[in-house]
Amino acid sequence: MNYTGPKVRLSRKLGVALTPKGQVAMEKRPGRPGQHGGMRRRRQETSYGKQLLEKQRLRFQYNVHERQMRTYFKRAMRREGPTGDNLVQLLESRLDALVYRAGLARTIYAARQFVNHGHIDVDGKRVDIPSFSVRIGQTVGVREKSRQLDCFRDGLGLESAPAYLRVADTELSFTKDREPERDEVPVICDVRQVVEFYSR
C-alpha cells in the first residue's frame, strides 16, 4: 500500500518538498516534525541511518512501495552501467512519474490518481497502471474525454519539461525521446547511499 498520510509532515521529516504545500511549510518551519524537531542538536546518525534516509527520500519522491523499490533495484543490477543511474532510469520510466515531469499533474500523487482514474493514454490506448513502463518513442497524453476537466483545462503546468521529453502543449501530450541522464532527473537523493542500503 502506498503512503496516504500527511505529506507536509513527511516532507519535513525527509527534508524534501513532496508537494507545493510541503515546500511552503518547509520554508516556514525548516526543522523536523514533532516536539523536538526544532532543536539544534541532533543525534549522530549512523551509516545505516543515512542510507535509510536516502532510500526513503527516493522512494517517497516516486511514491512507490518498498517491495517495488527492491524489484526495481534487482532489475537495475542486471543492467549494464552504474546501478544507481539504472535505478533512477527505471523509476523515471514509470507512467505516473512522466505524467508529473511533463506538467500534467502538480504532484506525483495527483499523477498517480490521474492514471488510476483512466485519464491517460499511451499511444492512443488507455492505461490505468501507474507503474507502466514507458518506452522510448511512446507518446503519452490526456484522453480526449478528459481534456475538458478543470485539472487539464489550463494545459501543462511546467514552464519547461525535461530534455528527454518532447512536449506538445496544445495536445496535452508528450513523447519520451530517450532515457534520462542522472543529472537531468530532479530527484533529491544520494543514489550511492541507496545502492549501499540494498546491497547489504
Residues 124 and 168 in one domain: yes
In a domain, 37, yes or no: no
Q: Where are the alpha helices (DSSP H) in the chain?
A: 7-14, 20-28, 47-62, 66-78, 83-92, 95-101, 108-116, 150-153, 191-198
What average pLDDT does the segment 28-33 reach? 65
More confident residue, 111 or 6: 111
In a domain, 183, yes or no: no
Q: Please, what's the b/e burial string for 145-178 (b: 16 or more CB within 10 A of its CB; e: otherwise)?
A: ebeeeeebeeebebeebbebbebeeeebbbbbee
Residues 150 and 80 in one domain: no
Residues 104 and 166 in one domain: yes
State yes or no: pLDDT of 17 exceeds 60.
Answer: yes
pLDDT at 158: 61
Tens-digit pLDDT profile for residues 44-69: 679 999 999 999 999 999 999 999 99
Q: What is the CATH number of the domain that holds 28?
A: 1.10.1050.10
**Ranges 36-45, 87-96, 107-116, 121-130: which has the least confidence:** 36-45
Residues 87 and 98 in one domain: no
pLDDT at 94: 97
Tens-digit pLDDT profile for residues 134-175: 999 999 999 999 988 888 876 666 657 889 999 887 778 999
pLDDT at 157: 65
State yes or no: pLDDT of 76 exceeds 90.
Answer: yes
What average pLDDT does the segment 111-116 reach? 95
pLDDT at 83: 96
Contact between 166 and 156 under an 8 Å Cβ cutoff? The reply is: no
In a domain, 86, yes or no: yes
User: How many other CB atoms are there within 10 angstroms of residue 25's CB atom?
Assistant: 18
Based on the structure, what is the number of domains in the chain?
2
State yes or no: pLDDT of 116 exceeds 90.
Answer: yes
In a domain, 39, yes or no: no
**Ranges 21-35, 78-92, 160-174: which has the least confidence:** 21-35
Q: What is the CATH number of the domain that holds 106?
A: 3.10.290.10
Task: For residue 141, give its domain range.
Answer: 94-178
Average pLDDT, the chain: 87
State yes or no: pLDDT of 191 exceeds 60.
Answer: yes
pLDDT at 141: 93
Residues 102 and 86 in one domain: no
In a domain, 24, yes or no: yes
In a domain, 38, yes or no: no
More confident residue, 50 or 43: 50
Contact between 98 and 165 under an 8 Å Cβ cutoff? The reply is: yes
Strand 165-168 and strand 120-122: pairing?
Answer: unpaired
Residues 84 and 111 in one domain: no
pLDDT at 37: 53
What average pLDDT does the segment 111-127 reach? 95
Residues 75 and 151 in one domain: no
In a domain, 63, yes or no: yes
